[in-house]
Amino acid sequence: MKRKLLSTILCAAMTVTLFAGCGPVPAGGSAAAPAGDAPAETAEASADSGEIYMFISSPEYADAINELIDEYKNVAPDVTINYETTQNDYPTLLKAKLNSGEVPDIFSSTSGKEIDTYLEYSYDLSDEPIMTTMDPAVAAAMASTEQGGTGCYGFAIKGNYFGVVYNKDIFDEAGITEFPETTSALIEACEKIEAAGYKPFTTGFAEWWVFKHTYQSFVNAAADAAGISSAELVAKFEKGEAKVADYPELYDNYFDFLDLAVKYGDAKPLETDLSSEEAALANGEAAMVLGQGAWIEADCLAINPDLHIGFAGYPVTEDAAECKVISGSDQALHVAKDSANLNAVLNFVNWWYTSDYGKAWFTDVAGVVPPIVTDAPSDFEIIKQGAALTAEKGAGALAICYSTDSWHQTCGQILQSYIAGTVTKDEACSQIEEQWAAIDGAQ
């Protein structure tokens, strides 16, 4: 794939920066199309020229995005999209760009709460052709709560299933016939896997975002135990009306889970990143991957095409019913409302969601849950198993959307300090509470 190197950004840990000549990303959920909606026609090819700057997170989709970029070059050869992606420090880098006036034409954030965080920079897509194919559930996650749930100020870059990805062959060899659904069963499984000569976990704890993907399952369990929604629970923390110690699922179970992952995981957990996790799972070194989901399957199969992938929810309590996968549109792309090339950006976005190639790209290239209404089947095991588990047990709430990415990044760094032994559990909980009440992700 052709890439144009435009600039270099130095970031901590596992930042990946890729540049190319045009393109975006995936997202979504699935729901029936609204009654009376007609199938969208393919967007007309654009005669635009000029450059578009796209700065997004999710480097794991870089290859798929580059394929999309190359295809769009055939549609609009005079449009150049300068594509930059990074993960580790994305919220910090994005805020620095916004504060300096360098607003990317397309940029990413968490959906839900962060739609309002970046509202002043975002174009309302409500009247664009993209809305004719966008899944209604996805569109709802892009609405502004500040404006009473109206507008569409972003579009989902991927639909996702979150849970534990595991190597079925290792489980079989260890004599584990069913994935453990309780905390005690998880401990027993770790003992069996270790006895069989394998590492039970690969953690990815070098990545701050791994913590937000695991933490949300425990947040859901805590909310269920309290008889409130996950959104209500997060709101209580943000208002300073709750303490982590008030919820055993967060204070005891989650930290016990981290301790278990360190005990039965990587020799250097804080040096293990996304690529390390994928390699450990695919090469048969580790039985379970933490903090990941549907997005890693293609990479793992590229390493080992014979890998037998399993997928399940996190065992968070002694109640097996709480072991649920999580599904939803966790990430959004924003179109800068003051873009100098707004028409070119909109043409590209509309083409991506409405053209035959763009609609097929979600399943055929990116391997994600499409953010559009479609009956297209998926060949990816995580998506198929996630859909089956959701149908059987329901899906957990996408709790990460109730906080900003700035909060998640700081929380991840606090938990990294806990794993490093530089803060105690109580100190970590106190710092998390302070950040929940203090962080405004936009400023």
Q: Any idea where the domains of the chain sit in the sequence?
A: 27-159+330-373, 161-327+390-438
Structure tokens at 257: 């889970």
Domain over 27-159+330-373 is classified CATH 3.30.710.10: no
Q: pLDDT (tens digit, 0 to 9) for every residue of the chain, 443 residues total? A: 333 333 333 233 323 333 333 333 333 333 333 333 333 333 444 447 789 999 998 887 899 999 999 999 999 999 999 999 987 789 889 999 999 999 999 999 989 888 999 999 999 999 999 999 998 878 888 989 888 889 999 998 887 889 999 999 999 999 999 999 999 999 999 999 999 999 999 999 999 999 999 999 999 999 999 999 998 999 899 999 999 999 999 999 999 999 999 999 999 999 999 999 999 999 999 999 999 988 899 899 999 999 999 999 999 999 999 999 998 788 899 999 999 999 999 999 999 999 999 999 988 888 788 899 888 777 889 988 998 998 899 999 888 888 888 889 999 999 999 999 999 999 999 999 999 888 653 33
Helix (DSSP H) and strand (DSSP E) numbers for the chain: 17, 9
- Angstrom CA distances, 227 to 80, 239, 436, stand at 51, 18, 21
Place of tokens 């097996």: 320
What count of other Cβ atoms lies within 10 Å of the Cβ of residue 394?
Answer: 11
3-state SS record for 350-390: HHHHHCHHHHHHHHHHHCCECCECCCCCCCCHHHHHHHHHH
- The yes-or-no answer to whether 27-159+330-373 and 161-327+390-438 have a common fold is yes
3-state SS class at 284: coil
Q: How far is CA 9 from the centre of its chain?
A: 22
3-state SS class at 212: helix
Place of tokens 């959104």: 231
Contact status, residue 128 vs residue 342, Cβ threshold 8 Å: no
**Residue 158: what pLDDT?**
80
Residue 16 belongs to what H/E stretch? none
For residues 224 and 194, give the distance between their C-alpha atoms in angstroms, rounded to a whole number. Answer: 33
**Residue 11: what pLDDT?**
34
3-state SS class at 288: strand
Q: Which CATH number fits domain 161-327+390-438: 3.40.1190.20, 3.40.190.10, 3.90.1570.10, 3.40.50.300?
A: 3.40.190.10
